[in-house]
Amino acid sequence: MKNIYKKVACVLALGLTLASCEDYLNDVPKGAKSPETLADYEAFLRDEYNTRLDILGANHVLNDQFVTAASLTSNRLYNANYMWDENADRIALKVSDESYYYTAYSGISAFNLIIENALSTTKATEQEQRVVWAQAKIMRAMNFFYVTNFYADTYAASTAATKLSVPLITSANINAPSKQVTIQEMYDFILNDIKEALPYLPKVSQTALHPNLGAGYAFYSRVYLQMSNYTEALKYADLALAENNKLFDWVAFYEANKAIIDVPNSYTTAVSPMGYNNVENYMFRHGSSRSLGREPSIPVERAARFETGDLRLKSRWKIRTVGADTYYYSILSGMYNFGGLTTVEVYLIKAECLARDNKISEALAILNAIRKTRILPASYQDIATTDKTTALNAIFKTKNNEFVQALIPYADARRLNAEGVYKVSFNKVVNGTTYTLKSDSHLWTSPFPQGATQNPGNGTLTQNVAK
């Protein structure tokens, strides 16, 4: 973990124009700036690179992101995840592929720095200090949730107190001790961070990058859903929707842009509506990329899992063949909220909670209200059923398509597989060979990178998966 902090310290130093990475708070070079004011610390929350959440490995396992034949040949780790190779030793292959781990912990260190110092900063009222402190708490909790749901088993009440999760680090000091806590301890910590932050979160935040009260409630709901605590998940979903309940109208977007979208063999279209100011956003966070441009392509098999007439597919990707590869190529440009929190996620959490409580008609009313803003009217039909399993599977399908290339489908699949009732598995045929991702595959948990296990800093780190 020591190497993590050296990298983190450099990132933080760059953000504050400091020259020293070893003691950037105590040894300020001449002409450099040491963080003192609240604005100095709040600037870390605006650092879009340091606050992104990289989930490339999860996208590969789910096949939510297309990987070219050339990349599969040259990158054995990509091949292991994307082709569901149960025999591959991903631990041996995880030498340099460490971006998710270090990006997440770099963010955690920045948030720790804010939490440690925000309440004693200058040029701010106590209320202003508390707002930034609370926002850092939410973002730190989000990072811990992400790494826990990538590098550790999913939460299960029967095993959470004994299975290990990830290192819990609460100081920005590069020599701070770390402890690989249990899954239960990590979730308790995450929930406590949210609880402490909620009283101080503003109803309207400074920018789309800053958590507001709706974001706090929405994240609370997400965490409780992952713990299969549907009562609390529903409670906080309702509170979040009381703060913001807007849905973006993909039908209207398509109608306004179809003259460009529907041009055959054209892959240049409108600006993505999924950016900072989308009406569904509680808060915006980048995913695996923060560049202004196109979304990653998706496999043909993945595109087939969208509903007929789904304008999220039709408006965002178009089938294309380049050399030996055929895939759905991104046709929008812009920013994408793959790491943040949105109203549609909260609506779908609420729908699942209601369905699990056998309130099927209420759950489907929410689901269909969402689908009406996503499905071409000529293709749209209400989903109508009294069967709980049918209703839940419809909710899961819409949610997976809504959040393709975000961590949410991956976390949900792991949760459902642990529950054992609505298991998630996949099959695909490539060049005549059938490949399978089983619901109980070890591929659902990523190994820690070798750089972390071989140099854990002031702590220890045990792999959570055999290979």
With 0.85 as the threshold, say if the pTM is over it.
yes
Q: Where are the alpha helices (DSSP H) in 262-323?
A: 300-303, 311-314
Six token digits for residue 37? 């004011």
Under the banding of pLDDT at 50, 70 and 90, the label for residue 3 is very low
3-state DSSP helix/strand/coil % of the chain, to nearest 5: 50, 10, 45
* Cα separation, 191 vs 36, whole angstroms: 29
pLDDT digits (tens, 9 = 90+) for 73-82: 999 999 999 9
pLDDT digits (tens, 9 = 90+) for 347-397: 999 999 999 999 999 999 999 999 999 999 999 999 999 999 999 999 999
Six token digits for residue 426? 């996949």
Six token digits for residue 422? 């609505």
pLDDT digits (tens, 9 = 90+) for 163-187: 999 999 999 998 888 999 999 999 9
> Does the pLDDT value for residue 400 go beyond 80?
yes
Which one, of 281, 173, 210, lies nearest residue 48 by Cα?
210
Which one, of 224, 214, 237, 210, lies nearest residue 145 by Cα?
224
* Cα separation, 413 vs 467, whole angstroms: 20
Give the domains, in start order, of the chain with CATH numbers: 2-243+443-454 (1.25.40.390), 256-277+285-330 (no CATH), 341-430 (no CATH)
Six token digits for residue 86? 């149960």
* Cα separation, 59 vs 325, whole angstroms: 18
Asked if residue 247 lies in contact with residue 348, where contact means CB atoms within 8 angstroms, the answer is: no
